[in-house]
Amino acid sequence: MPVTLPTTKSGVDNRWISQKFGMIGAAGIGKSEFWSHGNTLYLQCEAGLNHLDVFKVPVRSWDEFRDAVGALITAATKKDFPYDTVVIDTIDKLVDYAQAEVVMRGKEKFKNLEINTVGDLPNGQGWYQVTNLMENALSKLEELPCAVCYIGHLDNKEIKEPTRSIHKQTISVGGKLGGMLVAWADHFLNIEAQYSGSDLRRKVRTLPTQTLDAKSRGGVVPDGWVWDAKSQINYDKLRGLFT
């Protein structure tokens, strides 16, 4: 079919339901609690939500994750979608499930080989398939009428350059898959935690540096935003940045 070229600009889509978030930070600093104040559904891939009164679907395998996404798609199709945000908690564990799924498929396909890890699949097929599973899953979630977020663990990775090595704060998922996850998010919120005795100071980073992965497309989420002690206040501030 012939392509009709646009005559007007698209405009900026600042709607909450169009946003994709990634959030990383040290364990126990309130990442999961942050999202609990909206009409949020957690796809709970690992334990840690018992202290929160939230909507959650336990996910303990790739099959269970696929079933949960299917139920969400069905609800959206029926125009009966009750959530404004879906959160994967945590993306690290979901990657583990994707790896286990790929290993299982590899054992069925390559019966003459010993397949115990993703790396055992020939010609690098294992990691390609894991990345493909994750990309397809995130694409399906993007189609839902809600914001989508993943919570991830923080890692300090050594980046080797020709004349030096630096350590970079980024998502703990490695390789091309980790890069894909960072790129996928519209807003990659890196939560820095600083302790002074028993006091915790949390700051949101959204500008990338040589030693830190972070971003906010359009500069919507301010860099250096210091969280209040009350997570409700923090959530309301983020939510107020979008329509």
Cite the beta strand spans of 69-186 per DSSP E.
Answer: 85-89, 147-160, 165-171
Of 31 and 38, the structure prediction assigns the larger pLDDT to: 31
Q: Is 78 a domain residue?
A: yes
Q: Is 3 a domain residue?
A: no
48: left (phi over 0), alpha (psi -120 to 50) or beta: left
Say whether pLDDT at 211 is over 80. yes
CA atoms within 13 A on the CB side of 13: 8
pLDDT > 70: what percent of the chain? Answer: 100
pLDDT at 158: 86
CATH code for the domain in which residue 152 is found:
3.40.50
pLDDT at 166: 86
Q: Is 168 a domain residue?
A: yes
Q: Is 176 a domain residue?
A: yes
Q: Is 185 a domain residue?
A: yes
Q: Is 9 a domain residue?
A: no
What residue has token string 């959206």?
A: 76
pLDDT, tens digit, 9 for 90 and up, residues 41-84: 999 999 999 999 999 999 999 999 999 999 999 999 999 999 99
pTM exceeding 0.85? yes
pLDDT at 237: 98
Say whether pLDDT at 188 is over 90. yes
pLDDT, tens digit, 9 for 90 and up, residues 96-153: 999 999 999 999 999 999 999 999 999 989 999 999 999 999 999 999 999 999 999 9
What is the domain count for the chain? Answer: 1
SS3 (DSSP) at 193: strand
If you average pLDDT over residues 149-163, what whole number do you get?
A: 89
pLDDT, tens digit, 9 for 90 and up, residues 215-224: 999 999 999 9
Q: What angle (nearest 5°) sits at the alpha carbon of residue 28, between those of residues 23 and 30?
A: 55
Q: Is 134 a domain residue?
A: yes
Strand 20-25, strand 165-171: pairing: unpaired
CB atoms within 10 A of CB 126: 20
Q: Is 11 a domain residue?
A: no
The domain containing residue 67 runs over which residues?
A: 16-239
